[in-house]
Structure 1
Amino acid sequence: MLRQAMLAVSKSRRAERVISTSPLTRDVVRRYVADDIAAVVAELTRRGLLVTVDHLGEEVTDHEQAEAAVSAYLTLLGLLPAGADVSVKLTALGLRLSQRLATEHAATICRAAEGRGVTVTLDAEEHDTIRGLHAVHAALRREHPGVGVVVQAYLPDSLERCEKLDGARVRLCKGAYTAPGAYTAPADIDRSFVRCLKVLMAGTGHPMVATHDPRLLRIAATLAVLDGRDAGGFEYQMLYGVRPEEQARLAGLGAQVRVYVPYGDDWYAYLMRRLAERPRNLTFFLRSLVSRH
């Protein structure tokens, strides 16, 4: 129930105004959202971690906003080292306006990224955008085979999606939205995650295991061994500001660990979804709002 309430708050303009204008919010936001993206990427790289960077913003309502998002990503690419990744939400590129428009904008980012040795991953969003997400991904892969895509385990068709994506870069996550008919019980979502993970690890693509769950991390490591994948054959992905010690531990063992780093002013919806996923984060956030200590 708390998760559902937080996801509802993430869509509330009134709550956004109250929270985003609070002078006590800034330090909390900076824990999960990069302020100086170049400095954060440099520091994570120095620690032996990979990065995927998300320029925050979604659900644009006109062509001008979509073009601005593309421009922001092209600027971002100039700040990233080879081997980095950018995470792109298609609604920021105009998916709500036109699937063709979003495809063209994503292709522009893919071409520029390839020129710098950077990969692109298409982020999953609300359930009614998933069909468009995979259609755009399939179209892009014809000329940009390295483009990745996200599969959310909370959706009941996630296993079928993973089976169809053999050979692709796939980020598997639990999912931070709601959807009719979706799995809601944590145990059901975890079981779906493991079913999908088995398919991805046994396949020919590049699994990107996006979770902080210790048990799922152990299962991923075991499956990698059973399926003969070395450290370069898959990667762990974790959020900026969440379990940094575990990120360092895994990297120290020789695993590929990629940190999902969001940045930009449009942080509200992203942060609320992160708080919905982890109640401990919500406690920290609320405590920070009522005290500067």
Structure 2
Amino acid sequence: MLRQVLLAVSRSDRARRVVSTSPLTRDVVKRYVAGDVEGAVAELTDRRLLVTVDHLGEEVSDRAQAEGAVEDYLQIIGRLPAGADVSVKLTALGLRLSEQLALDNAASICEAATARGLTLTLDAEEHDTIAGLHSVHATLRKEHPDVGVVVQSYLRDSVERCIRLAELDDVRVRLCKGAYTAPGAHKSSGEIDRAYVRCLKALMAGNGYPMVATHDPRLIEIASALAVINGRDATGFEYQMLYGVRPAEQERLAEQGAQVRVYVPYGSDWYAYLMRRLAERPANLAFFARSLVSRG
């Protein structure tokens, strides 16, 4: 129920205005959304952490907005170090206007990223965009085989999708729990976690490159064990965590030799992102509440 409420709040213009104008909220946002994205990337890189950057924004209403999103990515790509990744939401590139438009725009970003030694990962969004997401991903892989895609374990077809993806050579798959709703989707945390583990088993045993996006200590331990069972060394998969969340754990894993990539969101359109992070794991409410109290 709390998850549903938080997701509803994420779509409320009134709630957006209230939350966005609170001085306390702005202080918290600074911890979890990079104000100076280049500075944040440099700091993380110095700590031997990998990065993926996400220019916040989605659901554009016209082609001009989609072109603006492409330009934003082209600009940041020119300032990122080799080995970095960019995370892109296809609705920001015009998916709801035209799948072909989103494909063309994503291809432009892919070409620029490849030229700079970067990769691109297509983010998963609302359930009604998933078919378009995987269609665009399949087409892009013909020219850009290293383009990644996200699978959300809360969706009923997540395990079957991971099994199919795992058959592809070198496919990059980011596995997360998911922060949206869908008819018939898993609702309890136990169901979502069990699906996550089944997805992990398929990906770790497959031909691709798993990207384990979680802060859950149990799932991190399971991923590590599955990597050993399937003969994957530290270069055969990576952990992914959010900017500002469990930074000590990020460094601990990196110090142990694991590849850890930090998801760095930036930009002014942060409200929906923050609310979805709370909905993804409502226990994060206490985490963010402590941030409001400590403000440091």
Could you say which TM-score interval applies, normalised by the shorter chain?
A: over 0.9
Equivalenced residue count is 293
Q: Is the 8 A contact 2:28 2:295 kept in 1?
A: no
What displacement does 1:3 show?
1.4
Partner of 1:264: 267
Which secondary structure state, in structure 2, belongs to the residue aligned with residue 117 of structure 1?
Answer: coil
Partner of 2:198: 195
In 2, Cα distance between the equivalents of 1:289 and 1:246? Answer: 21
Whether 2:226 is the aligned partner of 1:226: answer no
Q: Match for 2:14: what amino acid?
A: R
Residues 286 and 114 of structure 1: CA distance in aligned 2, closer, same or farther (over 3 Å): same
In 2, Cα distance between the equivalents of 1:289 and 1:22? Answer: 11
The superposition leaves residues 119-163 of structure 1 with CA deviations (integer Å, 9 ceiling, x where unpaired) of 000000000000000000001000000000000000010111112
Which secondary structure state, in structure 2, belongs to the residue aligned with residue 262 of structure 1?
Answer: strand
What displacement does 1:286 show?
4.9
Partner of 2:73: 73
Q: Which ranges in structure 2 are unaligned for 5 or more consecutive residues? A: none
In 1, Cα distance between the equivalents of 2:163 and 2:63? Answer: 35
What displacement does 1:79 show?
1.6
Partner of residue 179 from structure 1, selected from 157, 182, 199? 182
Across the aligned residues of Structure 1 and Structure 2, the Cα RMSD in angstroms comes to 1.5
What displacement does 1:251 show?
0.2
Q: How does 1:1-293 map to 2 (within 5 A)?
A: 1-166=1-166, 167=169, 168-286=171-289
In 2, Cα distance between the equivalents of 1:251 and 1:291? Answer: 27
Q: Is the 8 A contact 1:24 1:288 kept in 2?
A: no
Residues 292 and 110 of structure 1: CA distance in aligned 2, closer, same or farther (over 3 Å): closer
In 1, Cα distance between the equivalents of 2:199 and 2:291? Answer: 37
In 2, Cα distance between the equivalents of 1:291 and 1:86? Answer: 31
Q: Match for 2:116: what amino acid?
A: R
Q: Match for 1:92: what amino acid?
A: A
Residues 56 and 145 of structure 1: CA distance in aligned 2, closer, same or farther (over 3 Å): same
In 1, Cα distance between the equivalents of 2:235 and 2:293? Answer: 45
Q: Match for 2:13: what amino acid?
A: R
Which secondary structure state, in structure 2, belongs to the residue aligned with residue 165 of structure 1?
Answer: helix
In 1, Cα distance between the equivalents of 2:258 and 2:295? Answer: 37
TM-score, structure 1 normalization: 0.97
Residues 194 and 101 of structure 1: CA distance in aligned 2, closer, same or farther (over 3 Å): same
User: Which is further off, 37-46 or 155-164?
Assistant: 155-164
In 1, Cα distance between the equivalents of 2:244 and 2:270? Answer: 14
Q: Match for 1:46: what amino acid?
A: D
In 2, Cα distance between the equivalents of 1:143 and 1:277? Answer: 33
What displacement does 1:291 show?
9.2
Which secondary structure state, in structure 1, belongs to the residue aligned with residue 133 of structure 2?
Answer: helix
The percentage of counterpart residues that share the same residue type is 74
The superposition leaves residues 228-285 of structure 1 with CA deviations (integer Å, 9 ceiling, x where unpaired) of 0000000000011111111010000000000001000000000001122344532354
